[in-house]
Structure 1
Amino acid sequence: MISRSLTTVSGLQADAVAVLRGWQAPDAEQDLLRHDYLDHLDARPDGVWRSCRPAHITASALVADAAAGRVLLTLHPKVGRWLQLGGHCEPEDTTLAGAALREAREESGIAEGLTVFGDGPVKLDRHAVRCAGKDQPENTHLDVQYLIVAPADAVARISEESLDLRWFPWDALPDDTDTSVRRLADLARLALS
């Protein structure tokens, strides 16, 4: 008998492969990342779980309130920078988009009305982090980034996973927002226009 966790693992892994195979990358650099992610998933049947070292797939969400022209960012406690919401896939996740939506709900405090925009991710981003702890070696997050649309004038509530949580106008992201998050916001804004 196949255990439920193995079925979930293969289901999420299969979804990740299908999403990445079907995604039309916006440029050659993103397409190269897409192929790297697919190679990772082909080589590692546990490639979507945080226990997979030295790299694993993560799912994140840029939450946008299109009506108000703003995006929700979290001041990440481990990184100390303003980032989109998101993180590790969990055993209950069956799709990458579902994982990104779950993370958005958990980290934004917006329980109702969040929806995934479009048919797939907006962007991919590979970055090194110390998700296993400060005394552990760095891991690589192979992040699949989605656009999540919030209802007009949604009110966010800070979670224990953030130092701060704020809405920012598209054109007024915090000064310490990195290039990757700025590019994600630009792509999301373009998609919503």
Structure 2
Amino acid sequence: MSLHEDAVLVLKGFEGQPELREVYLEHLAAHPDGVYKPCTAGHVTGSALVIDPAGGRVLLTLHKKLGMWLQMGGHCEPGDTTLAGVALREAREESGIEEGLTLLPGGPVRLDRHAIPSPCNWHLDVQYAAVVPPEAVARISEESLDLRWFPYERVAEVADASVVRLVEATLARL
């Protein structure tokens, strides 16, 4: 199965946000390359909120290009076979937590479509949550200016509304 086919199946099985889910599915139907960065009409991305339920906190990265506190995430790559794999790969790369990081069961937590500068126009982000093992040690990557744990209740002080909604949706799933 291709990454494109996996994305369609994941989105068809996602029960939340029906209008936005339909936008994603229409995009993929119209663009066979719609999961990859070169698709100028926009492209699917995968992200994961790294969460420590035992500590009541989330790990956010200060994005190098955007200067914003965000969840881990990024573009699909040619070797990727699933959206869940994209989200987990990005979470591992950007958090430095290689061992024991697992996606929260149940598939994506939410969707977030946001404008990006030309020539690509849109990121159609499929957002997961990844749970850290108790002994996890985060390490900053070259893609970040900083990496920091925030208590759930402090996320709204540092991050934008999309990250706050992702935290809320994740906590509702726990």
Report TM bin, short chain: over 0.9
Deviations 1:8-35 (A, max 9, x none): xx6100000000001111xxxx211100
* Residue equivalent to 1:22: 13
1:41 aligns to what SS in structure 2? helix
User: What letter matches 1:18 in structure 2?
Assistant: L
Q: 1:148 to 1:72 in 2, by over 3 A?
A: same
Q: Distance in 2 between matches of 1:64 and 1:175?
A: 17
8 A Cα contact 2:37 2:120, kept in partner: no
Instruction: Name structure 1 gaps, 5 residues minimum.
Output: 1-9, 131-135
Q: Distance in 2 between matches of 1:172 and 1:153?
A: 23
Cα distance, 1:92 vs. partner?
1.1
2:157 aligns to what SS in structure 1? coil
TM-score (norm 1): 0.87
User: What letter matches 2:132 in structure 1?
Assistant: A
Q: Distance in 1 between matches of 2:11 and 2:84?
A: 12
Check if 1:13 corresponds to 2:4: yes
Structure 1 stretches of 4+ moved >3 Å:
none
8 A Cα contact 1:108 1:158, kept in partner: yes
Check if 1:173 corresponds to 2:173: no
8 A Cα contact 1:61 1:103, kept in partner: yes
User: What letter matches 1:74 in structure 2?
Assistant: T
Q: Distance in 2 between matches of 1:69 and 1:144?
A: 23
For the pair shown, the structure with the greater C-alpha radius of gyration is: 1
1:98 to 76, 79, 85: 85
Deviations 1:47-81 (A, max 9, x none): 00000012100000001011111101000111111
Cα distance, 1:119 vs. partner?
2.3
8 A Cα contact 1:68 1:153, kept in partner: no
* Residue equivalent to 1:71: 58
User: What letter matches 1:115 in structure 2?
Assistant: T
User: What letter matches 1:160 in structure 2?
Assistant: E
Deviations 1:107-135 (A, max 9, x none): 000010011112210000001123xxxxx
* Residue equivalent to 2:44: 57
TM-score (norm 2): 0.96
User: What letter matches 2:14 in structure 1?
Assistant: W
Taking only aligned residues, the RMSD between alpha carbons, in angstroms, comes to 1.3
* Residue equivalent to 1:143: 125
1:113 aligns to what SS in structure 2? coil
1:36 aligns to what SS in structure 2? helix
Q: Distance in 1 between matches of 2:120 and 2:36?
A: 15
2:172 aligns to what SS in structure 1? helix
8 A Cα contact 2:58 2:152, kept in partner: yes
User: What letter matches 1:13 in structure 2?
Assistant: H
8 A Cα contact 2:156 2:164, kept in partner: no
Q: Distance in 2 between matches of 1:31 and 1:138?
A: 24
Q: Distance in 2 between matches of 1:81 and 1:174?
A: 12
Check if 1:155 corresponds to 2:137: yes
User: What letter matches 2:130 in structure 1?
Assistant: I
